[in-house]
Amino acid sequence: MSRYRGPRVKIIRRLGALPGLTNKTFKSKSGYINQSTSNKKVSQYRIRLEEKQKLRFHYGLTERQLLKYVRIARKAKGSTGQVLLQLLEMRLDNIIFRLGMAPTIPGARQLVNHQHILINNNTVDIPSYNCKPKDIITIKDRQKSQSIITKNLNFFQKQKIPNHLTFDLIQFKGLINQIVDRECIYLKINELLVVEYYSRQV
């Protein structure tokens, strides 16, 4: 299954706020955001599926990519759900989004693909690149790169930068201090349900 490129509001109407996918919010005519009005009993499978879809759309992953991350998380020490979220949070495209250098994760992915981003002074054009503590993220020293990032920072720097990251607004330099804590992941999701969803496929 390929990466989703359709209407984003349609997704958040069904799944709720997904900051990585879009900074838009959906309001129904009654004024409530994304509240299901159906009185039908929801199956456990559907609940797990929706949690999985939240994760997939927020981080902009294909089904195959998410399944790969679940398999890696299962082999690692610690809680599978927590390790899975840490793996996704340490992707380069997500780090750029969390630093406020891009409005969404798809926007961050585009910056990486167009070679605007440096890690430890080396150009990296792979959005799924696994960042590590002490990695330094900077912008390529060219006018186009600087102007794009400056525009994004001026507009989106209102969001709070999580504790595991530091950003120098003067030098346009980001630093990864440590692996992200679960408390710093503000996406409303039950990662255990995602692990359960994939339990028969892994």
| 15-48 tens-digit pLDDT | 777 776 766 655 554 444 444 444 567 788 888 9
The Cα–Cα gap between 202 and 197 comes to 10
Query: CA torsion sign, 100 to 102 to 104 to 110?
Result: negative
Q: Give pLDDT, residue 34.
A: 44
Q: What percent of the chain has pLDDT over 90?
A: 41
Q: Give pLDDT, residue 16.
A: 72
The Cα–Cα gap between 37 and 167 comes to 42
| 131-187 tens-digit pLDDT | 999 999 998 877 777 787 777 777 655 567 888 999 888 888 999 999 988 888 878
Mean pLDDT rounded to a whole number for the chain = 82
Q: Give pLDDT, residue 103.
A: 87
Q: What SS3 class is residue 34?
A: coil
Non-local (6+) Cβ contacts of 162 within 8 A are: 98, 180, 184
Q: Give pLDDT, residue 36.
A: 46
The Cα–Cα gap between 162 and 69 comes to 22
| 100-143 tens-digit pLDDT | 888 889 889 999 999 999 999 999 999 999 999 999 999 887 77
Q: Which domains does the chain have, with CATH numbers?
A: 8-87+187-197 (1.10.1050.10), 91-178 (3.10.290.10)
- Phi then psi for residue 176, to 5 deg, are -95, 110
Q: Give pLDDT, residue 12.
A: 67
The Cα–Cα gap between 199 and 13 comes to 27
> What is the model's pTM?
0.83
Helix, strand, coil content of the chain in percent (nearest 5) = 45, 10, 50
8 A C-beta contact, residue 112 and residue 126: yes
- Phi then psi for residue 166, to 5 deg, are -130, 140
Q: Give pLDDT, residue 3.
A: 65
Q: Give pLDDT, residue 123.
A: 93
Q: How confident is the model at residue 4 (pLDDT cuts 50, 70, 90)?
A: low
